[in-house]
C-alpha cells in the first residue's frame, strides 16, 4: 500500500546506545529500520515469489543497475512501466549504481575521470557508465533510492590506489547529485569510500555530509578484510554522518556482521548471502547454520526449526531437504531461500523490538547463545 507521504523522510524513533530504530517514508511505502533488503539483482529475488518476500516482512528490495542495463535494458523496463510493475513489487526499491562492477569485473572494464567502460560479460558489447548515465538508468528503472556511481577498491590495497578511488568517488558524487536534481519522494545516497584507512574514511564521510544528501551509505567493506577492520571503519564513519539521515552498509552480510553493525548505528543492509546460501544447501536458523548437503541429515525427521513461522523451516524434514539438495531439485533451493530470508527478517524485527525496549545488548547476547547451542557454528 502506498504511503501518503509525498517526500522522502527519515524519522528516528528510538535509540539504545548507538543502535537506532527508525522509519523511512516514501510515496511507495514505509521502511522500518534497521532493515535488511533482499537482493533482486535482475528484477527477481532468486528462487522466491515477490509475494513471499513481502509476506516475510521485507519493506524494500534491491535491484542491480549494471545487470538490468544489460538485460532486459533500462529503456525497455521504462517502456514496460518501470521496475515496480515489471517485477510486481509495489513497495520501495533501492538500486545500486553499477559501481561494484568496477571492482568485480576488473578484467572487463576501463576507468577514467569521465566514467567506466564495461565489456558485457553476456555478449562482449561495450557500455559506458558515467555518473550521469548511472542516474539516468536508475531513473528509467524508477527506483526510489538511487546510489551514486563510485569506485570500489578490493582490500587489502595500496593506500595510493584507495585514496585515488575515494577522491574520484567524491567527484562522481557531485556529478550524480547534479544529475539527480530534485525528485520529490525519492533520494540519492552518497557512498563513503576510503578502504581500511581511517583518515580517508573520515575525509570521505565529511565531504559527503557537506553535500547534504538524503542518505549515506558505507561502501567498499566486506570485500576481503577481516570483520574487525569493517567494524573499525564503522566506528570512524558513523559518528561523522548526520544522525538525522539513514545509514546503509552495502553488501553486508552475515547475521553477526549485521548485529554488530546495528550496534554502531547502521540502519540498512543488503547481501546475497541468504539467497545464495539457500541455493547451495545452507540454512540459517536460530540454532546456527545447517549444511543440508551433510549426509548426517539423510534420515533426520526434524524440521529446521519447529518453532518458526515459516513453513519451509517448520513443515519439511531435514531428510527431505537433504534429498532435494543432493538431487539438484529446484524445490530445495526455493525452500532453503525461503527459510533464510525468513530468518533474516525475523532477526531484523528482533533488532527493532530490542532497540525500542532498550535491551539491544541483551538481544545480541541471547541470539549468539542460540547459535552456540546449534550443531554448526554461526560464522
150 belongs to an annotated ligand binding site: yes
For the chain, first and last CA: distance in Å? 37
Asked whether the beta carbons of 144 and 94 are under 8 A apart, the reply is yes
96 belongs to an annotated ligand binding site: yes
Asked whether the beta carbons of 336 and 312 are under 8 A apart, the reply is yes
Q: Which residues are catalytic?
A: 96, 270
Place of cell 528482533: 350
97 belongs to an annotated ligand binding site: yes
CA separation, residue 229 to residues 14, 18, 36, 155, 241 (Å): 27, 18, 22, 10, 19
> How many Å is the Cα radius of gyration of the chain?
20
343's enclosing H/E stretch is helix 330-357
Taken as a whole, the chain contains a residue count of: 379
From the number of C-beta atoms within 10 Å of its C-beta (0-12, 13-18, 19+), residue 18 rates as middle
100 belongs to an annotated ligand binding site: yes
Distance CA 112, CA 135 (A): 18
List binding-site positions. Answer: 96-100, 150, 193, 220
List binding-site positions for substrate. Answer: 96-100, 150, 193, 220
Amino acid at each position: 500500500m502506498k504511503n501518503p507521504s509525498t517526500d522522502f523522510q527519515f524519522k528516528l524513533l528510538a535509540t539504545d546506545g548507538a543502535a537506532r530504530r527508525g522509519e523511512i517514508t516514501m510515496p511507495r511505502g514505509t521502511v522500518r529500520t534497521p532493515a535488511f533488503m533482499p537482493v533482486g539483482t535482475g528484477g527477481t529475488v532468486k528462487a522466491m515469489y515477490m509475494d513471499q518476500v513481502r509476506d516475510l516482512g521485507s519493506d524494500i528490495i534491491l535491484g542491480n543497475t549494471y545487470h538490468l542495463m544489460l538485460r532486459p535494458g533500462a529503456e525497455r523496463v521504462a517502456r514496460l512501466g518501470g521496475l515496480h510493475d515489471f517485477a510486481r513489487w509495489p513497495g520501495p526499491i533501492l538500486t545500486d549504481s553499477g559501481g561494484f562492477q568496477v571492482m568485480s569485473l576488473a578484467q572487463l572494464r576501463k576507468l577514467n575521470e569521465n566514467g567506466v567502460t564495461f565489456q558485457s560479460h553476456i555478449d562482449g558489447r561495450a557500455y559506458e557508465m558515467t555518473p550521469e548515465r548511472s542516474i539516468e538508468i536508475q531513473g528509467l528503472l524508477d527506483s526510489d533510492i538511487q546510489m551514486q556511481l563510485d569506485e570500489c577498491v578490493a582490500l587489502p590495497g595500496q593506500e595510493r590506489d584507495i585514496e585515488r578511488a575515494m577522491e574520484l568517488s567524491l567527484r562522481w558524487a557531485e556529478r550524480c547529485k547534479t544529475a539527480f536534481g530534485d525528485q520529490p519522494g525519492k533520494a540519492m545516497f552518497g557512498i563513503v569510500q576510503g578502504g581500511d584507512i581511517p583518515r580517508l574514511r573520515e575525509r570521505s564521510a565529511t565531504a559527503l555530509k557537506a553535500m547534504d544528501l538524503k542518505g549515506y551509505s558505507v561502501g567498499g567493506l566486506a570485500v576481503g578484510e577481516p570483520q574487525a577492520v569493517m567494524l573499525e571503519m564503522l566506528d570512524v564513519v558513523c559518528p561523522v554522518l548526520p544522525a538525522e539521515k539513514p545509514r546503509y552498509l552495502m553488501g553486508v552480510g552475515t547475521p553477526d556482521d549485521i548485529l554488530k553493525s546495528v550496534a554502531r548505528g547502521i540502519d540498512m543492509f543488503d547481501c546475497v548471502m541468504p539467497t545464495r546460501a539457500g541455493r547451495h544447501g545452507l540454512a540459517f536458523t536460530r540454532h546456527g547454520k545447517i549444511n543440508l548437503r551433510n549426509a548426517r541429515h539423510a534420515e533426520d525427521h526434524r524440521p529446521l526449526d519447529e518453532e518458526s513461522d515459516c513453513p519451509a523451516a517448520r513443515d519439511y524434514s531435514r531428510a527431505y531437504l537433504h534429498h532435494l539438495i543432493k538431487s539438484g531439485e529446484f524445490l530445495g533451493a526455493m525452500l532453503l531461500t525461503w527459510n533464510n530470508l525468513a530468518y533474516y527478517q525475523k532477526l531484523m524485527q528482533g533488532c527493532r523490538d530490542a532497540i525500542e525496549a532498550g535491551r539491544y545488548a541483551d538481544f545480541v547476547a541471547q541470539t549468539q547463545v542460540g547459535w552456540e547451542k546449534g550443531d554448526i557454528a554461526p560464522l
